[in-house]
Amino acid sequence: MRKLRLLISIIVISVAGYFIIHHHIQTVGLPPSVYRIRMGILSPQLIHWEEETDQFKKISFYDDALLTPPGIKTPIIQSPNNQNPFTQALPSIPVNEIQVYPRTPSLPPNAPDLDQILFVMTTTSKRAQEYSQLWSHFLDYDSQCLVMLSPSESQEQHSLEYFLRHERGLNCYVRTSNVDKYENRMLSLPAEALQFAPNIDWVVIGDDDTTFIDIRLVQRMLAKYDPSQDWCLGGSTESARQFEQFGKQAFGGAGIFLSNSLAQRIADTFELCTEEFRDEMGGDGKLSKCAALSAEKDMKDTITHEKGLHQLDLPGNAEGFFQSGQPFISVHHLINGWSDVIPSYFPKYMSEDWTAIKIILRAAKFLGGDNLFRRFAFDGGRTLVTLGHSIIVFRETLTPEHYKNVEHTWFWPDYTLIDSLPTRSHNKRSYEYFLKDIYPTSLDLSTVSGYTEQPPSNWNELSDLEKDFALEQSSTVTFVYEEWYRKRTLKMVWDETRSDVDLKGDGQWFGQDWLDQESEYLQLRYQNISSHI
C-alpha cells in the first residue's frame, strides 16, 4: 500500500509540475506548439573574402552544441534577460559565432560591368515563360538577355518579348533564328550575340534552366580574364561516365563564357563547324569543338574549367554535393531535371522542384553568393550546417578528413564522380533538417527565445520580389527547417546585431593577391599554348 501511495504521489507531482511549467512558459510568450521546436542562434562575424574555397579547405570545426537538445522535454529556452524562475533552470539556447563573408560580394576594380555581359540561350516560348522565373534571380535591368526561338515559333517572338520585359521585368530581347536544328542553333548563338551587341565583352551561353547564384560572382570570375584574348570558360560534368563519353568540353548547363575575340572567331567559322561537326551529339559539344577549331588549339587547351560552374549531372538526391564545400557560381538540372536540391522524400511543399529552388535562391539573396552553401561543423564534427540549405546531425562523429570528400547521396552506388571530386559513402543520420522558410525577425523580450516567434503579419501577402527585397534589408532573420520523418520544426536565428560591423559589406576589395596570382597563371598558360600553335 505504501508503494502504491508513493507511486500516486510521484505521478501527481509530475503532472502538476508539467502543467505549472507549461503555464509559465506560455505566460512568457511561448506558444504550446513551439514546445517541441529545437533552436540555435548564429552570431555572424565578418571576415574579408580573399580567395576561392573548395571542398579540400579545412571546414570550420566547433566542439560546442549548435542546437537545443531534441525531444518534448526540452522547450525553447530563455533569453539572456529572462527572470522567470521556472525557465531559468532550463538549458539556454546555444549562441555560436561563425565567420562569414560580406553579404554583398566585393568586386575588383577591373570586373566587367553588367552591360558588358550578354546572356544568350535558345529555347521555346513555353519554356522561356516558365524558366524565366530563374532568370529573374540573376538578371537585373543592367544585364542583357537574348533569347533565340526556332523558325517554327516566329509568331511567338513579339508576345514572348513583351512577357519577358513587362511581366518578368527583364531586359531581354527575343529574336527568331533561321536555323532549324537545335544543336546547330546553339552553335549559331555567338554570331547572333555579336550581331545584337557587337561591342560586348562576354557572351554567356547557357541552358534555359541554368541559374547563377549571385551575378557578382560572375563578374568577379571574369575579372581574371582579358576579353580581347581568346577565352572559353566552362564547367565540366561531375559524372565520370559523362566525362569519359564527352571529354573535357564545356557543358552548356554550367554556362559557357566566350570572350568577344573568340566569339567572333566562332561566328566566322559557323558554316565550317556545322559541316565538320554535323555528327556531334549536343549543342554544347559542337560549340566546344568549334571553339577549339576556331582558336586553332586542342579542345583541352581551349576550354578553361572554372570550378564554380556546375553542370550537376547527379541523379536524384544531390544534397551531399551541396554540402561538400564546393564554390557555387552556377547550378543546373534542378527543375524537371536530374538533381534534387532538397531530397524528394521530403513533403512536396518543401521538395517540389520550383518550391525548393526558390527557397534556396531566396536564402542566396539574403546571404550573398559567397555565404550560400558555406558550411560549419558543430558538436565536434557530428552536426553539419550548410548555410541556406540544411542542418544534418550524423549518428557518428565525422573528422575534417571526412568532410573533404563529397558524400554519396545520389542514386546508383556505381555512379562515380570525376577524379577531382573524391567521395565518401552515405553517412547515417540521427536527424536531417532542410530549409523550409526564411523571414525577417526582431527582438522580442516577451518571448522565451528573445525573438519574435512568427513572420511579419503581411509576409505571406508579399510577392517573391518584395520578400527578397525585405530580406536584403534585414539584419536579423529566422531560418526555418523541417525534419522529414517526424515533421518537426527547427529554427535558426541569424542575428547580426551581435556583430560590431555591417555584414552587408562596404565593397572594399581584399582579394588582390588571389586575383594577381590567378591572372598571372592564366596569362602564362595562354601564352604557352599560343606559342605552340
CATH number where 147 lies:
3.90.550.10
Cα 256 to Cα 43, 178, 523, distances in angstroms: 38, 22, 20
Cα–Cα distance between 391 and 363 in angstroms, integer? 14
Q: Are residues 370 and 494 in the same domain?
A: yes
Q: Which of 12-21, 74-83, 471-480 has the highest mean pLDDT?
A: 471-480
200 and 122 in one domain? yes
pLDDT at 449: 73
Clarify whether residues 242 and 118 are in a common domain: yes
Domain match, 215 and 173 both: yes
Amino acid at 313: D
pLDDT at 36: 58
Q: Give domain status of residue 93, yes or no.
A: no
Across the chain, what does the average pLDDT equal? Answer: 89
Structural domain count of the chain: 3
Whether residue 372 has pLDDT greater than 50: yes
What does the pLDDT read at residue 141?
A: 77
Half-sphere exposure of 428 (CA within 13 A, CB side): 3
Dump pLDDT digits (tens) for 270-308: 999 999 999 888 999 999 999 999 999 999 999 999 999
Judged against a pLDDT cut of 80, whether residue 61 lies above it is answered with yes
pLDDT tens digits, residue range 185-202? 999 999 999 999 999 999
pLDDT given for residue 1 in this prediction: 61
DSSP state of 76: -
| Same domain for 344 and 197 | no
By CB atoms closer than 10 A (0-12, 13-18, 19+), residue 484 is middle
Q: What pLDDT does residue 6 have? A: 58
Residue 85 has pLDDT above 70, yes or no: no
413 and 503 share a domain? yes
pLDDT higher than threshold 70 for residue 31:
no
User: Could you tell me if 285 and 420 lie in one domain?
Assistant: no
**Residue 50 placed within a domain:** no
Distance CA 127, CA 62 (A): 45
Going by pLDDT thresholds of 50, 70 and 90, the confidence category of residue 338 is: confident
**320 shares a domain with 173:** no
Query: With contact defined as beta carbons under 8 Å apart, do 300 and 284 qualify?
Result: no
Whole-number pLDDT of residue 285: 95
Same domain as 325, residue 230: no
- Grid cell digits, residue 52: 576561392
pTM assigned to the model: 0.90
Mean pLDDT to the nearest integer, 525-529: 75
Is 263 a domain residue? Answer: yes
In a domain, 482, yes or no: yes
- Which residue's C-alpha cell is 512558459? 25
Tell me how far CA of residue 47 lies from CA of 22, 57, 98, 103, in angstroms: 42, 16, 10, 11
Greater confidence (308 vs 33) lies with 308
**Do 373 and 226 belong to one domain?**
no
pLDDT score of 92: 77
Same structural domain, 264 and 338: no
How far is CA 25 from each of CA 15, 19, 32, 376, 443, rounded to the nearest angstrom? 15, 10, 8, 32, 18
Q: What is the pLDDT of residues 426-464, one digit of tens each?
A: 999 999 999 999 999 998 877 767 888 899 999 999 999
Q: Domain residues for 468?
A: 316-530
Q: Is residue 184 part of a domain?
A: yes
The answer to the question of residue 62 being in a domain is no
Instruction: Say if 84 falls within a structural domain.
Output: no
Residues 416 and 512 in one domain: yes
Q: Do 240 and 417 touch, CB atoms closer than 8 A? A: yes
The last residue of a domain, from among 252, 285, 306: 306
Q: What is the reported pLDDT for 29?
A: 44
- Residue 94 resides in a domain: no
Segment 119-139 mean pLDDT: 97
**Cα–Cα distance measured from residue 466 to residue 148, given in angstroms and rounded to the nearest whole number:** 30
Of the three residues 251, 284, 306, the one that is the final residue of a domain is 306
